[in-house]
Amino acid sequence: MDPRPWLVLARIPGVGPVRAARLLEIFGGPAEILAAPADALAAAGLKPEAVAWLHAPDPSLIESDLAWTALPGNHLLYLGGPGYPDLLARIPDPPPVLFLRGEPTTLDLPLFAVVGSRNPTEPGRRTARAFARHLAAAGLGIVSGLALGVDAAAHEGALETGVTLAVAGTGPDRVYPAHNRELAQAILRRGAILTEFPPGTPVRRGHFPRRNRIISGLSLGVLVVEAAERSGSLITARLGAEQGREVFAIPGSIHNPLARGCHRLIREGAKLVETAGDILEELPALLSRPPDEAAAGPPAAEPQSDDPEYRRLLECLGHDPQDLDLLTRCTGLGAGVVSSMLLMLELEGRVVPLAGGRYCLTGPPFPS
């Protein structure tokens, strides 16, 4: 598919994701939007400057975006297209276009968000890193926002044992804050950086709440480590709850102001967690329920390991460590499906995760 109409759509002035999704619904696709007459676009609610852009976009910007997508490791994902994350597509305001640097198969993993204060306590920083390290070792891709503090600690912890995804509030050709440039490079070697903003988009305060809805929208759940009572992390948690995601929070001392946001979330219904195992215990239900039922509906039955696909995976596993790529090839299943099944088997005590993203059985594949 020609990416140009999508790139034009991504840069419409004054049009956010809700309006863009509405335009796609009305006209059927980006090429049809560009071909629509001015009166039809105006009737759809577009202002004159937006209509003018659609009929005469700046060719230098579009060519620059195309040049960015042609670089090694750069990818353009569009709503309804291959590789676009299914969970994110189901939120009320999905980005029509995503710009991704790094490994696109990161999005195939079951993802989990870890967020918190930009100025955490040292125990809070260590906690974020430890939780992310443990959850990544269990097969989850850890999502955060590449900010200072808890975000950076979560990315670092995930990189020790698995994969992480950073969601940026700028264009994909920028790293903010600059202090995290080295961390961003490490993420690109073991994961990906994702944004809805086109190349060249600078730092703007209003972009970070928009980024937060993507962090939660991609994820099965959101863990808040430390947060003040007025915090961007609480926005992420609120958006996650509205999107049907499970929200988790770590309690702290009543004398720590950065524990107040977490205590507020717990009072409002977030699950109190003390160990990463508390989160892993919830994952079978989260993985087996549609996202729009994750907050309120009863949990579906836990998948049984004698299911034909589970039997195929168990036959491919052995006592020698196996990595995800090998298991994906052996079973013929997608990486995301295999990762989810491995999580279930780990919770049953039948599989143990090892360093380097490898797995092995804890006993016979089919005990009598």
The answer on pLDDT for 325 being more than 90 is no
Average pLDDT of the chain to the nearest whole number: 88
Could you report the per-residue pLDDT of 29-56, keeping only the tens digit for each?
A: 999 999 999 999 999 999 999 999 999 9
Structural domain ending residue among the three candidates 247, 262, 293:
293
Neighbours of 111 (CB within 10 A): 25
Q: For position 142, which CATH number holds?
A: 3.40.50.450
- Least Cα distance to 142 among 32, 276, 31 occurs for 276
- Tell me, yes or no, whether 84 lies in a domain: no
- Least Cα distance to 147 among 83, 79, 225, 52 occurs for 225
Could you tell me which residues come within 8 angstroms of residue 160 by beta carbon, excluding any fewer than 6 positions away?
133, 136
- Least Cα distance to 218 among 144, 161, 159 occurs for 144
Q: What pairs with residue 142 in β-bridges? A: 112, 164
- Tell me, yes or no, whether 81 lies in a domain: no
Could you report the per-residue pLDDT of 92-122, keeping only the tens digit for each?
A: 899 999 999 999 999 999 999 999 999 999 9
Could you tell me which residues come within 8 angstroms of residue 141 by beta carbon, excluding any fewer than 6 positions away?
106, 107, 109, 110, 111, 112, 158, 162, 163, 164, 165, 191
The answer on pLDDT for 368 being more than 70 is no
Counting the structural domains of the chain, the total is 3
- Tell me, yes or no, whether 77 lies in a domain: no
- Tell me, yes or no, whether 187 lies in a domain: yes
352: domain range? 308-361
Q: What is the 3-state secondary structure (H, E, C) of 72-132?
A: CCEEEEECCCCCCCHHHHCCCCCCCEEEEEECHHHHHCCEEEEECCCCCCHHHHHHHHHHH
> In angstroms, how far is the first alpha carbon of the chain from the final one?
52
The conformation of residue 268, written as its DSSP 8-state character, comes to T
Do 115 and 230 reside in the same domain of the chain?
yes
CA 61, CA 67: separation in Å to the nearest integer?
Answer: 10
Do 234 and 344 reside in the same domain of the chain?
no
Could you tell me which residues come within 8 angstroms of residue 14 by beta carbon, excluding any fewer than 6 positions away?
47, 49, 50
- Please indicate whether residue 67 or residue 230 has the higher confidence score (pLDDT): 67
Do 276 and 313 reside in the same domain of the chain?
no
Phi, psi of 357 (to 5 degrees): 70, 25
- Least Cα distance to 153 among 174, 119, 179, 126 occurs for 126
- Tell me, yes or no, whether 95 lies in a domain: no
- The predicted structure's pLDDT at residue 300: 31
Do 278 and 325 reside in the same domain of the chain?
no
Q: For position 338, which CATH number holds?
A: 1.10.10.10
- Tell me, yes or no, whether 150 lies in a domain: yes
